[in-house]
Structure 1
Amino acid sequence: MRYIIVGTGNISNTYVAALQKLSGSELIGAVSRSERPLRTAPGLPIWKSLADVDQAFDAVILATPNGLHHQGALQAAALGKHVLTEKPLDISRAAMDEMIAACASAGVILAVCYQRRTSPDNQTIKKLLAQNAFGKIFAADLSAKFFRDQAYYDSGAYRGTWAVDGGGPFMQQACHNIDIYTWFFGLPAKVSSVLGRFAHEMEAEDHGAAILQHSNGMIGTIIASTAARPGFAARLEVHCEKGSFTLTDDRITFWDITGISNPADTQFSYAHDGATSAAVTDTTAHETIIRDFEMAARTGSEPLASAESARLTTELILQIYANDTAKTISTRRSD
């Protein structure tokens, strides 16, 4: 497949590197309203809009800020091009619905790069959950305590804003981890949260906690932060009828489940934890997402992170924001 990357900021470099490693996948250029070149592929052509592209291509990769994803998706769908977007799908229900409807009407694939779903250990847990192998699950506790300095938020006017980023660490840094939570357990029936801003000059929260009550009785907790110096590995601890297990940065690091041997894949090498930096140097998981995306485009199969599935992650985050009992972030825009 032949690709256009929309957006030439930092995350675009990850997709450039991933495409360069995939035989049969070709990056032909990028779209940038400022006409800024791709840093890691400076010789490729740059257009100001998708409508200006004068070469044949099959799909777009959206590497724009969160709240602009729907714009690129709608433009691509109008041209009949498949869409792979950086996470999250978008930051509002209306935008996500519009994207999904436009791509469905155009008959093109819309997928999201939630690459943590490619982890062998995460996939193993997903299969065991489908088999009800753990018995009743009564607790799932997700901790995504990361750190970003003020310079990170100062590096782009949109960072940490409601209108473009869609929020703080819940929508931005921790949404990958929250996506695994929703992929495993679905949406809760009830959400209560407390959010605050403690270490940064920004609009949105930089630390918060949520308690989630699921219809089957399971109690979940999620902590998300970019104020937890120096930054910690993400952990998901699950407690169930048959015991407990822990995933640390998508690897099984603790296992005590009656009747099931530890299924950890010790060969898994993807190592981006996101605790202290937004940079991604290991593109293995992105390559897997792109291969899966191309298979879906060729065969019509559902991609690993379909738009409908990824929509649940944004939905949960929006509920966390809407149910902030502290009401400390008074500048939050309404969805």
Structure 2
Amino acid sequence: MPQAVPLAIAGFGLVGRRHAAAIAQCAGAELAAVIEPEAEARAEARALGCAVYPDLDAFFAAGGADGLILATPNPLHVAQGLQAVAAGLPVLVEKPIATQAADAVQLIAAAEQAGVPLLVGHHRRYNPIIQAAQEAIARGDLGELRAVQATCWFYKPDAYFNAADWRKRPGAGPVAVNLVHDIDLMRHLCGEVVSVRALAAPSRRGFDNEDLASALLSFASGVIGTVSVSDSITAPWSWEMTAREHPIYPPTSESCYMIGGSRGALSLPDLRLWQHGAGEPDWWAPISATSLMRAATDPLVNQIAHFIDVIAHGAAPLVSGREGLRTLEVIEAMQLSAAEGRDIALQPAAPREVAQAG
């Protein structure tokens, strides 16, 4: 039986603990170390039987892992990612890859120059729901894609913000922290975004970020997208409350995405494919839904298994640093458009420019 690949997690908060649980469920991985500055969280990590370090310097000095997962606050991602790259350690950076695209370019350039694998934690791409949706689109079940609509509404309690002050600061609003997942899936399913027009409302709690935003997205494929996000609306229409990925969220039977094409439409995450009969589409003809089949596996466990495949077998990252950068660029375009009240055009990053930056 192949030896398990030792992984380390930096940051043992909500997300870091979920990665630890996923590692425990992945036969090819083991949790070798946790890096965490808070004493109480370090004590909880020690209970898992792994090595525990107060900072990355101490961890790198000791060694003992073949891959590093960064589940630390967003502003630390680039500096810590650069440390991992300098140590030659494959790294999985939680989303977003950085708080600013220019900083992400620096990390990507360093990783590519050093030949160190860099992955970004857009774990929803590993969900069998999304894989089934992608297969339906590729089969032509929807015909020519025309539109996509995503809703990301939920209410975060005050305790969520009081537990970590950085969540109240610029760049930590729901656009960057939450919608980045939805934008990544819209790109994954519908192609690249080429222009953005957005509106945002300041936090009603007085924080230094938005708590409501909407955007109109134009895709290179011709698809037109609409998206809305808020962490101050009581509602069931978000991926968290519909996809059943994490039991901490109360599940509902609602959907949060709709993808429309010339021959059919697909709602997610319930995977209901709506089509007219065997003839040509006609709004006077009966329309019915078919529930598509999909596997039932944990996307976080799937992501860990893929990370192991990258480390041990040289597999190409499913969500590379460049993919994380492109999603972040759409988020930045939304923020800029909302601030300046204008359309923002996006151009795909040229590979040579990314590789030579920094």
Length-normalised TM-score, structure 1: 0.84
Q: What is aligned with 1:65?
A: 73
Distance in 2 between the 1:121 and 1:230 partners?
Answer: 22
User: 1:31-55 CA distances to partner (integer Å, 9 max, x unpaired)?
Assistant: 2244540625435332233332214
Structure with more of its chain in helix, by fraction: 2
Contact 1:28 1:45 (8 Å CA) reproduced: yes
Distance in 1 between the 2:339 and 2:277 partners?
Answer: 39
Q: Offset at 1:16? A: 1.3
Q: Tell whether 2:241 aligns with 1:236.
A: no
Q: Counterpart of 1:46 in structure 2: which amino acid?
A: V
Q: What is aligned with 2:28?
A: 24
Contact 2:142 2:266 (8 Å CA) reproduced: no
Contact 2:190 2:223 (8 Å CA) reproduced: no
User: 1:9-61 CA distances to partner (integer Å, 9 max, x unpaired)?
Assistant: 22111111111222231212222244540625435332233332214211111
Aligned pairs for 1:291-310 within 5 A: 291-310=305-324
Contact 1:13 1:38 (8 Å CA) reproduced: no
Distance in 2 between the 1:228 and 1:121 partners?
Answer: 25
Change (3 A) 1:72 1:257: farther
SS of 1:288's equivalent in the other structure is helix
Aligned pairs for 1:109-148 within 5 A: 109-130=117-138, 132-148=140-156
Q: Offset at 1:301? A: 2.1
Contact 1:143 1:224 (8 Å CA) reproduced: yes
- Give the counterpart of 1:51 among 53, 57, 67: 57
Distance in 2 between the 1:104 and 1:325 partners?
Answer: 33
Contact 2:192 2:221 (8 Å CA) reproduced: no
Q: Where has structure 1 moved over 6 Å in runs of 4 or more?
A: 257-261
Change (3 A) 1:81 1:258: farther
Q: What is aligned with 1:264?
A: 292
Moved more, 315-324 or 32-41: 32-41
Contact 2:28 2:305 (8 Å CA) reproduced: no
Aligned pairs for 1:176-215 within 5 A: 176-215=181-220
Change (3 A) 1:314 1:12: same
Work out which of the two has the higher radius of gyration on C-alpha atoms and give 1 or 2. 2
Q: Tell whether 2:302 aligns with 1:288.
A: yes
Stretches of structure 2 that go unaligned for 5 or more consecutive residues are 240-255, 279-287, 342-358
Q: Offset at 1:240? A: 1.2
Q: What is aligned with 2:251?
A: none
Contact 2:203 2:209 (8 Å CA) reproduced: no
Q: Offset at 1:212? A: 1.1
Q: Tell whether 2:33 aligns with 1:12.
A: no
Distance in 2 between the 1:27 and 1:262 partners?
Answer: 41
SS of 2:147's equivalent in the other structure is strand
Stretches of structure 1 that go unaligned for 5 or more consecutive residues are 270-283, 328-335
Q: What is aligned with 1:323?
A: 337
SS of 1:135's equivalent in the other structure is coil
Moved more, 257-266 or 47-56: 257-266
Moved more, 202-211 or 177-186: 177-186
Q: What is aligned with 2:115?
A: 107
Q: What is aligned with 1:281?
A: none
Q: Tell whether 2:237 aligns with 1:218.
A: no
Distance in 2 between the 1:208 and 1:297 partners?
Answer: 38
Distance in 2 between the 1:210 and 1:30 partners?
Answer: 38
Contact 2:264 2:273 (8 Å CA) reproduced: no
Distance in 2 between the 1:186 and 1:170 partners?
Answer: 20
